[in-house]
Amino acid sequence: MYAVTREDGWVVLHIHSVLTPGKTMEGTRLVLVKSPDQPDAFDFSIRTPVTPQRWMDFDAELEAAWETIIQAMITGDKPIIAAAIMRYTFYWYNFMPLARGTAACGYTTLLSLFWAAGMPVTASIPLRTQVDWEAILAEHPDNFTTSVATWLYPSAARGSMGVEEQEASKLFPNVEMLPNVEATLDTLRKRIEILNGVVAGPIPQDVP
């Protein structure tokens, strides 16, 4: 490409809005820049445009997607809940200033929402697949869902129940039966301890 254009450049997909049909937003830029003082060397990177309008647009999409999840949870219709979760995740991945940590947080949130909806995901991400890139290279939440649902979706998300749900119930207890987080981790100290892993016991008082 550089041999043709002879200048730095970038390409970007336009992300379609569900909140405002017909509207598009700028996605993540794929950037090619020639390295200075190095013949035939180039920097290939991704960059997220940080503009006030883009932030407002994605904020509105994420808020609307979250409300859709809440309303879907109330109905209890699992396929609709799954679609709402995927919509929220799609806009998160396309909005974020991309880093592996941000992508991991997005996927963790997706898994948590499926679990909260009573259909925990037990599938592993396939080899050579990065879920965030499936969203970045899609123009619409439906395209993103189609690209990952074949391996990600539990049977309940497809409107049926299978053996996997029975196995998952052994690993993932019903969220309604779990302790209340606010009551269990009622101090800052406890929250820091749990974030650092399993608490082995009280910290000795003589430790400086």
Domain count, the chain: 2
Q: Is residue 150 part of a domain?
A: yes
b (16+ CB within 10 A) / e for 160-184? eeeebbeebeeebeeeeeeeeeeee
Q: Is residue 204 part of a domain?
A: no
Q: What is the average pLDDT across 190-198?
A: 79
Q: What is the average pLDDT across 24-47?
A: 83
Same domain, 37 and 131: no
Residue 165 pLDDT level (bands cut at 50, 70, 90): low
Same domain, 56 and 147: yes
Q: What is the average pLDDT across 12-24?
A: 94
Q: Which domain holds residue 6?
A: 2-47
pLDDT of residue 134 exceeding 80: yes
Token pair for 63: 């808020």
Q: Is residue 206 part of a domain?
A: no
Q: What is the average pLDDT across 139-162?
A: 91
Residue type, 111: L
Among 24-28, 45-49, 141-145, the minimum mean pLDDT is found in: 45-49
Q: Is residue 192 part of a domain?
A: no
**What percentage of the chain carries pLDDT values higher than 90?**
49
